[in-house]
Chain A
Amino acid sequence: MDRKKKERTSPQVTLLIFSGRPDPELMLTADETERLVGHLKTALQGDEVNPPPERGLGYRGFLLRDLPLDELKRQPTRVFRRTVTLELGDRRSWGDAGLEEWLLEKAKDSGYGELLEPS
């Protein structure tokens, strides 16, 4: 069972905050990945909502890629303004079931808190 956990591919979680410099990547543990997947599954079961408006410069949410979920496997997924949005094709959105708040805490714990302070 331990080996199965070690073989699991970690999803790519990008904090969308910079414009010129590469955005920071958050590293998730196996448990955090499971928690992320749990949030997403809950979110996708909810009602669809309108995609949020773009913001421009500064914090713009999180981009999730390589998700260990069949329906999201090749689908870049954006978490922003308390919604989860599938970025490819028809942009479909759902309420995020608290995912953005959890990711923001993770980003602050990873040392990016100062960047996320309102300017």
Chain B
Amino acid sequence: MSGWEWLRDLLERLARAFRDWQERCIPAYDPTPWNDSNGVQFNNNCYNYACDIRTNTFAQPGQASGNMYSSIDCVEVGDGAVSDGLAPVGCDAGCGCSDCHHQVALVIWPNADFHWYRKDRDGRWSHKPGGTQATNLDNSGNLITDPRTADRGPYTVFCGCYCVNKSAVTIN
């Protein structure tokens, strides 16, 4: 094999390895399995969807690890998620590819509720508002390229981003 052929072969293998890693670790935007208008849709919420883990329990941050949030704010809900195995990360830095994980983001409706977004394989974000359908659109009907700037309705507080390694996260 010539030097160029060796290099081309190496680049192809690296590209293939990266694609395999992406397919294994970063969820694709495919809302259909979540949107059955029945048990899956009604019993899995934003946290389930963001983590890409169906429990049919309307999972609550910290509940699986005995550290459920005691108030609706960034610290309490975020700590609950960390207790479940999510890892805080800078939103711009992202989760990188040193581990098998994808990026999610937490927002708060002050004193009322929390919500999670998920960054998908195509680089855009999607979410599942409670028991209603998963979508990649915000409240203005626009594709979500950044949850910090998306129309989030009453979820006016942006808390931050986290990494989800599904094999290291337990939610319930």
Instruction: Report which A residues bind B (CB closer than 8 A).
Output: 14, 16-23, 53-58, 60, 63, 76, 87-88, 91, 115, 119
Q: Can you list 17 residue pairs at the A/B interface with Cβ under 8 Å?
A: A16-B130, A19-B46, A19-B155, A20-B45, A20-B46, A20-B114, A20-B116, A54-B133, A54-B137, A55-B139, A56-B135, A56-B151, A57-B129, A57-B153, A58-B154, A60-B129, A115-B112
* 16 further interface pairs, Cβ-Cβ under 8 Å (given A20-B116, A20-B130): A16-B130, A19-B116, A19-B127, A19-B130, A20-B46, A20-B47, A20-B113, A21-B60, A21-B72, A21-B113, A23-B130, A56-B135, A56-B139, A57-B139, A58-B139, A91-B37
B115 touching A56, Cβ below 8 Å: no
Which residues of chain A are within 8 angstroms of B153 by Cβ–Cβ distance? 56-58, 119
A20 touching B38, Cβ below 8 Å: no
Q: Interface majority SS on B: helix, strand, loop or mixed? A: loop
A-B contact count (CB 8 A): 80
B contact residues, total (Cβ < 8 Å): 35
A20 touching B132, Cβ below 8 Å: no
